[in-house]
Amino acid sequence: MTVGVSVELEGTSVTLQGHAIVSDVNLAIAPGEFVCLLGPSGCGKSTLLNAIAGFVPASGRVLVGGRPITGPGIDRGVVFQSAEVLFPWLTVKQNVEYGPSIRGVGRREREELALGFLRLVGLAHAADKYPPELSGGMRQRVQIARVLANEPSVILMDEPFGALDAQTREVLQREVARIWRATGATIVFVTHDIGEAIILGNRIVTMTAGPAARIKTIASVDLPYPRDLTDPAAVRLQRRLRDDIGAEVTRTLIAQGMTTEQVA
């Protein structure tokens, strides 16, 4: 099916309205790799994702499959945290058919395509419902199916489960891991949840607190899937990541005017 391609960031910086959000990021993501961008809110990880998606201009180089990106494109599918990106006036199936219909795929073929991807995310039974009739978790699955229907080489996920309850989140994390294996796409996954990053990523990239956020650490996760957070190696990694991010959060709070004692 899909084959993932590489994503390379070389000296990538993003400046929006005169503010440096992300500064000098260097990161090479291999084809088919699952990379999690982890960091506290407002650290610029979503901005970095938006730069790869082509939503915001970036300086330095952003290469996808070796080619510099100039704007949004169907080679990079984006799953957002908010379900308002679904079209509420279209049925679930029509939402999933949206990309293929723009590509000019015929009616019969794209219907089959949509049903196939809805089956993959376990939503074939809801094909004729409208998004407002679905639960939060189901809507995120529709988003994933809609992105997959374009068979992107890179899937960019911006805290896709951030607004869901813990149980639903766990189920969807397992599904994303399964879909990743099934499609072979490269995935860049933004999250502020350390556990989520450990369950999903081949590598976990932490970022410094903004402004002008940079990459702080890159951790490889050498644990077999499906992963167990109570595994001693996972626990050790969790502690290390928590310390890394904790230091950044402390720095932010002090920058915001809190005293060292208050933070400690």
Q: Which is nearer to other proteins, 56 or 234 (CB)?
A: 56
Q: Which is nearer to other proteins, 24 or 75 (CB)?
A: 75
Helix (H, G, I), strand (E, B) or coil at 107: helix
Residue 163 in contact with other proteins, rule: CB under 8 A: no
Which stretch in 99-107, 117-125, 170-178, 203-211 sits in contact with other proteins by CB under 8 A? 99-107
Which stretch in 12-20, 28-36, 66-74, 210-218 sits in contact with other proteins by CB under 8 A? 66-74
List 61, 103, 107, 125, residue binding other proteins (CB under 8 A)? 103
Residue 78 in contact with other proteins, rule: CB under 8 A: yes
Decide: 95 and 127 in contact? Cβ < 8 Å: no
CB of 85 to other proteins, least distance (A): 4
Helix (H, G, I), strand (E, B) or coil at 80: coil
Q: Which is nearer to other proteins, 126 or 147 (CB)?
A: 147
C-alpha distance from residue 151 to each of 2, 10, 163, 196, 237 (Å): 6, 26, 26, 24, 33
Nearest to 210 by CA among 2, 66, 45: 45
Strand partners, 37: 190, 205
List 11, 72, 136, 246, residue binding other proteins (CB under 8 A)? 72
List 99, 137, 160, 210, residue binding other proteins (CB under 8 A)? 99
Residue 98 in contact with other proteins, rule: CB under 8 A: yes
Q: Which is nearer to other proteins, 34 or 80 (CB)?
A: 80
Residue 161 in contact with other proteins, rule: CB under 8 A: no
List 45, 139, 141, 146, residue binding other proteins (CB under 8 A)? 146
Edge-first strand order for the sheet with 154-158 is 76-79, 154-158, 186-191, 34-38, 203-207, 215-220
Question: Which residues are within 8 A (CB) of 107 and not within 5 positions of it... i.e. 6 or more apart?
Answer: none
In angstroms, the CA 93 to CA 262 distance is: 52
Strand partners, 59: 13
Residue 87 in contact with other proteins, rule: CB under 8 A: yes
Residue 88 in contact with other proteins, rule: CB under 8 A: yes
Nearest to 208 by CA among 20, 7, 52: 20
Decide the pairing of beta strands 186-191 and 154-158. parallel
CB of 160 to other proteins, least distance (A): 12
Residue 89 in contact with other proteins, rule: CB under 8 A: yes
Greatest Cα pair distance in the chain = 65
Q: Which is nearer to other proteins, 5 or 53 (CB)?
A: 53
Question: Which residues bind to other proteins, rule: CB under 8 A?
Answer: 53-55, 71-74, 76-78, 80, 82, 84-85, 87-89, 98-99, 102-103, 130, 146-147, 150
